[in-house]
Amino acid sequence: MITGGAGFIGSSLTDELMRSKNQVIIYDNFSRGRKSNISSWDDSLNFKVIEADILDKFSLLKAVDNCDIVFHMAANPEVRMGYSNTKIDYEQNVLGTYNLLEALRNSTNCKRIVFTSTSTVYGEPDVIPTPENYSPLMPISLYGASKLACEALISGYCYMFNISGISLRLANVVGPRSTHGVIWDFSNKLMNNSAKLDILGNGKQNKSYLFIDDCVRALIIAETLTARNENKFDIFNVGSIDRVDVLTIAKTIMEELSLRNVKLNLIGGPEGRGWKGDVKDMLLDCSKLEYFGWKATYNSTHAVSLTTRGIIGKQKATETTG
């Protein structure tokens, strides 16, 4: 089962699992996920969609008891939303995860979970690349804090109730189905107005961007690890081998759109950030997962280019059909 399975990452994992002849249950309330992301599998006998909320305890328990493992992705996906709505990360991330863990605790069949966490749990670490055993973990956003709380809950449930869990601390995951984030934002702004581009922060924010194909491969490996996880709960970083700053992202997108003489307008922000809670510098040490055969195929710049091409292609397809 994939909670949030119609979303960007969830639907991409769905495609891979379905191509590998697995039975897949999508659990999604479609507040963020799109039915079009998973519609190609609607006629498959081994595919089922449950339209329900992660806060619906009864639906969760019933769904979980019909599967072997849960990929838990249902969550608020945007860091900055926590500034204007302080309840959203608690309700959609922490409370939703608690409800799912209660369903696993009471399930007779399902005792495995793979959780998509985030690099923002580290806050602004002194060590870069940052390993999983870095401490202290001091998130600077409610989003990062909620994901860290979810990890702690999963760990506690794993050890107390014989559940096997893996948490993947993801870098910024990007791809053609992205619906938010700097690449999606810049691409759409430039397609609407090629004369200028407003950039939040000082443009020097420097982070790792993970292409969706590499993310999905990490999720598949994590699933195999839950089956033999003697530690009950374990954590792995997942990111690209390098990082790229925001100004380079803007220039890469302009190249993909064949644009020149675009005026870049640096709006600024708190301490050079794009917004409150925005981590300015991030690069993960992924050697722990690499030991199990995973390695990023794409660097950050390549991931930006491929994502931009996909967004442009979707826009042109929309204009053609429209």
CA distance 297 to 237: 15
DSSP lists the bridge partners of residue 174 as 211
Cβ neighbours of 43 (radius 10 Å): 7
pLDDT tens across 45-77, in order? 999 999 999 999 999 999 999 999 999 999 987
Pair (38, 131) in one structural domain: yes
Query: Do 122 and 188 lie in a common domain?
Result: no
Q: Do 232 and 128 sit in the same domain of this protein? A: yes
Asked if the structure places residue 287 within a domain, the reply is: no
Q: What is the mean pLDDT of residues 201-228?
A: 96
Kindly indicate the confidence band of residue 220, based on its pLDDT and cuts at 50, 70 and 90.
very high
pLDDT per residue as tens digits for the range 113-139: 999 999 999 999 999 999 999 999 999
35 and 166 part of one domain = yes
In this structure, are 196 and 127 located in the same domain? Answer: no
Asked whether residue 196 falls in the same domain as residue 226, the answer is no
Average pLDDT in the chain: 94
At 53, give phi and psi (nearest 5°).
Answer: -95, 150
Q: Is the peptide bond preceding residue 129 cis, with omega within 30 degrees of 0?
A: yes
Who's near 255: CB < 8 A, 6+ residues apart?
none
Domain identity same for 106 and 124 = yes
What is the residue range of 166's domain?
A: 2-174+209-238
CB burial string 21-37: b at 16+ within 10 A, e below: eeebbbbbbeebbeeeb
User: Is 259's pLDDT higher than 80?
Assistant: yes
Q: What is the CATH number of the domain that holds 187?
A: 3.90.25.10
Whether residue 133 is found in the same domain as residue 189: no
244-245/206-207 β-pairing = antiparallel
Number of domains in the chain: 2
Quick one: which H or E segment has residue 27?
A: strand 24-28
Q: Of 207, 283, 212, nearest to 246 (Cα)?
A: 207
CATH number, domain of 33, equals 3.40.50.720
Could you report the per-residue pLDDT of 295-315, keeping only the tens digit for each? Answer: 999 999 999 999 999 998 887
In this model, does residue 84 exceed pLDDT 90? Answer: no
